[in-house]
Amino acid sequence: MPKKPSSKSSVSKSSKSAAASGKTKRKTTASKSGTKKGPPINKMNDTVKQLKELGDNLERAADKGIYDSADKTQDHLKKIKDILSQATDKGVNTIREVTEKIHHFASEATELTKLKIELHNLQKEREKFLLLMGEQLRNLHKSDKVRNIQKKFKYDFQKLDELEANIAEKEKEVSRHSLKFD
């Protein structure tokens, strides 16, 4: 009968072979519930918790960033609105000023045109009057009745003096008006 090897020798051989190969059995601990949890599972649970916390923190940061960004955008929009409002006010004031200047220029141009027309009419009336006087003087000269020129043309000379005074006055008025667009 062959000999049975003793349990010591078999254990020691297996221990020796395991030690030589670098493999050792890990001891596992049993929990109260009867499931086996080793150190790698605990590390994995810790890592999952950390990942959840990191995800929550990222969500909070993203929400905060969105709200901060929205607040900054609203502030920028308010600034743009204020700038546009100021530009609009300046534009309206500039248009108002230009309109007033154009109105002033147009009224001055109208007044000057009116004065020039009146001056022209006075000059035409003077020319007509001088023409009539000349014709009368010529007719008197032809008829040999030129003896009392002063008496004959007294009213005509007065009328001619009035016309010339009115012409001089209108010329002064015209010279006072200038068409400048300031």
Q: How far apart are CA 161 and CA 1, in angstroms?
A: 176
Q: Is the residue at 164 inside a domain?
A: yes
Q: Is the residue at 14 inside a domain?
A: no
- What is the reported pTM? 0.46
pLDDT digits (tens, 9 = 90+) for 114-135: 999 999 999 999 999 889 888 8
Q: Which residues 6+ apart lie within 8 Å of 107 measured at CB?
A: none
Q: Is the residue at 68 inside a domain?
A: yes
Looking up tokens 């916390």 gives: 53
Q: Report CA-CA distances (Å) from 94 to 33, 84, 88, 90, 101.
A: 87, 15, 10, 6, 11
Q: How many domains would you assign to the chain?
A: 1
Mean pLDDT on 137-142: 74
Q: Hey, what amino acid is at 106?
A: A
pLDDT digits (tens, 9 = 90+) for 59-99: 777 666 666 777 778 888 888 888 888 989 999 999 999 99
Whether residue 107 is predicted with pLDDT greater than 50 in this model: the reply is: yes
Question: Which phi and psi angles does 143 have, rounded to 5°?
Answer: -90, 5
Q: Is the residue at 35 inside a domain?
A: no
Q: Is the residue at 5 inside a domain?
A: no
**By residue range, what is the domain housing residue 94?**
42-176
